[in-house]
Chain A
C-alpha cells in the first residue's frame, strides 16, 4: 500500500537560512510525487511534482526537490528561506488522480 512519512512535525529556521524538509514514501511502482504548501485557513497549493526524468525538479517560490529511488525519498529544499514561507508543507504520492496519499505535514516556522 502506498504511504508517505514526513519525519519532522515542526521545523524552525532563521530567515535567510537554508531549508530541507524530509519525505519518505512507500509505493509499489514508479510513483508520482508532489509537494504542496498550505497557509493557515487555506487550501493546498502545488509547489512541485515529479513523474519521471530528471530527479531534481524545480518548483515555484524557489523550491526544489530531489527524487532518490534508492532511499525512497523526495526531500524539499530551499537555499534561503523568507518569512513568507512559514506554512504547513505536505508531501504526497500517487499514481495519478485517484487516491493520492499525503503525509501528516511539516509545520515551518521562520525566525526573523
Chain B
C-alpha cells in the first residue's frame, strides 16, 4: 500500500508544449525524488528535493524543473516537450527511518 499519490495518471501533449505533474508524498517525508522511466527501461533519476530545495540532479536538461511545497506535495514541470519525453514519470518519497524510497504509481506522458 503506497502513501505516494500522483496525478494525472495519463496525459497526452504535443511537442513544444509544457506539462506539470503532481505528487503528494507521505506526511513527514521531507525528501522527494522524481524519476523518468522510458518504455522498456529502468527508472532514471531526474532530481530530488529536500525541504523545498533541489539537492541533487541527474543528467536532465534545465527544461525539467520542480517545486516542493511545505505540505509534502511536489511538482515536476517540463517545458518545450520533445517526443523523447514520452515516459512514465515516477515520484518517490524517502523514509529516513526505514531508508527506503516509496514510489507512486506514476504519470504516463505521451508526447505527439
Chain A residues engaging chain B, CB cutoff 8 angstroms? 4, 32, 34, 36, 41-46, 49, 51, 90, 92, 96-105
* Residue of A97, A99, A104, A105 most packed against chain B (CB within 10 A): A97
When distances are taken between beta carbons in the complex, the residues of chain B under 8 Å from A46 are 100-102
A4 to B45, CA, bound (A): 13
Complex Cα spacing A32 to B92, Å = 17
Contact among A34, A102, A105 for B100, CB-based, below 8 A = A34
Within the complex, which residue of B41, B94, B105 is in contact with A43, where a contact is CB–CB below 8 Å?
B105
Q: Is the Cβ of B94 less than 8 Å from the Cβ of A97?
A: yes
Q: Given A44-B90, A105-B41, A100 and B101 touching (CB < 8 A)?
A: yes
CB<8 Å pairs between A and B, sample of 16: A4-B42, A36-B103, A41-B108, A43-B6, A43-B90, A43-B103, A43-B106, A46-B101, A49-B99, A90-B42, A97-B48, A98-B48, A99-B58, A100-B33, A101-B45, A102-B35
Q: Restricting to B53-104, which residues have a CB under 8 Å from any CB of A?
A: 55-56, 58, 90, 92, 94, 96, 99-104
